[in-house]
Amino acid sequence: MPEGFLLGYARVSTPAQDLAGQRDRLRAAGAARVFEDVVSGRAERRPGLAALLDHARPGDAVAVVRLDRLGRSLRELLEIVEDLRARGVGLKSLEEAIDTSSAAGELVFHVFGALAQFERRLIAERTRDGLAAARARGARPGRPPLDREKLAAALALVAAGMSPARAARQVGMGRSTLYRELARRDRRDGRAGSEGRA
């Protein structure tokens, strides 16, 4: 693997917390550049991490003070580590003393990969078991069947000038269900109109 740069990643959850400690440790470890995020671990978007992953090239390594700075959950951490490995980018965690550029560290990538596969199999098994248990109870997994009487009442209210959201609430059906049915009818009516003109 070609020799590359060490790229640091630091994250804190709130502006009240200070990134300086992580930044200093990463630079002391040799990080040529440190990417940063000030976002909660539950936040969907992390622009600093996205920029780091976009910037990293084969031969580079990503450094973090602790693994929990990189992934918000074990699943996400495993996904990021697997992505790094596939792209030829190393990983270094200062507190856990992980360095995949060493022979022993390379084993860590294989362990993470095995954990990711184990996690995927567990999820698949839980899903299958859940569906089997639901069928055994007589339940039919998936979207509940459409109540035709409620739909007819809601469509009549919409035809009379009521908004779809209010009509759905009035008859006790999901707003998205009514909008979906209205869109389906519009498409069907549009097809019927075009066939009539042909």
Extract long-range pairs of 92-97: CB within 8 Å, 24+ residues apart.
Answer: 92/6, 92/29, 92/61, 92/62, 92/63, 92/64, 93/63, 93/64, 93/65, 93/66, 93/67, 94/25, 94/26, 94/29, 94/63, 94/64, 94/65, 94/66, 95/65, 95/66, 96/66, 96/67
To the query of whether residue 73 is one of the catalytic residues in this protein, the response is: no
Percent of the chain with pLDDT over 90: 25
pTM: 0.55
- Which architecture characterizes domain 6-119 according to CATH? 3-Layer(aba) Sandwich (3.40)
pLDDT digit string, tens, across residues 65-75: 988 888 877 77
Per-residue pLDDT reduced to its tens digit, 118-136:
767 777 788 887 777 777 8
Domain boundaries, the chain: 6-119, 148-197
Going by the DSSP 8-state scheme, the letter that residue 33 receives in this structure is E
- Dihedral sign, Cα of residue 162, residue 163, residue 166, residue 169: positive
Pair of tokens at residue 165:
């959201």
The span from the CA of 39 to the CA of 10, in Å, is 11
